[in-house]
């Protein structure tokens, strides 16, 4: 994978979204009201959206090493606060996976 390929893929993705709905990005810009906050690992093998079968705007996602939630981690606490207080999410999903090397490293 090259950086040029990433930009080409992005351009194709944009064109595909606009071909299916010319207002796709305008609609997304109107805001979000997800019912779920997903906290998962930064593992590169699968995205939260693929795993849950959801579309943009349907889940608020936070990923970090080993899906850690620690009260002194300002990043994860900010995400949790924003999701619950402002987005009014109804469910928080804390998702781990098999053979997580982040968990092994933390242990």
Catalytic residue among 26, 27, 85, 100: 100
Q: Which of 5, 26, 27, 43 is catalytic?
A: 43
Q: Which of 41, 62, 73, 91 is catalytic?
A: 41
Q: Is 95:46 a contact under the CB 8 Å cutoff?
A: no
- The answer to whether residue 85 is catalytic is no
Q: Is 45 a catalytic residue?
A: yes
Name the helix (H) or strand (E) containing 60: strand 59-64
Q: Which of 5, 26, 45, 85 is an active site residue?
A: 45
DSSP state letters, 68-97: ---TT-HHHHHHHHIIIIIS--SEEEEE--
Q: How far is CA 47 from the centre of its chain?
A: 7
Q: Is 100 a catalytic residue?
A: yes
Please enumerate in sequence order all residues whose Cβ is within 8 A of that of 65, keeping only pairs 6 or more positions apart, or say none: 41, 42, 102, 105
Catalytic site residues? 41, 43, 45, 97, 100
């Amino acid at each position: 994978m090259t950086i040029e390929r990433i930009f080409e893929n992005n351009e194709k993705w944009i064109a595909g979204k606009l071909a299916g709905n010319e207002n796709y990005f305008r609609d997304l810009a109107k805001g979000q009201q997800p019912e779920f906050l997903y906290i998962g690992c930064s593992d590169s093998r699968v995205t939260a959206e693929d795993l849950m079968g959801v579309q943009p705007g349907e889940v608020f996602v936070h990923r970090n090493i080993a899906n850690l939630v620690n009260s002194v981690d300002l990043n994860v606490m900010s995400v949790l606060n924003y999701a619950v207080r402002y987005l009014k999410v109804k469910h928080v999903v804390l998702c781990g996976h098999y053979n997580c090397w982040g968990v092994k490293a933390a242990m």
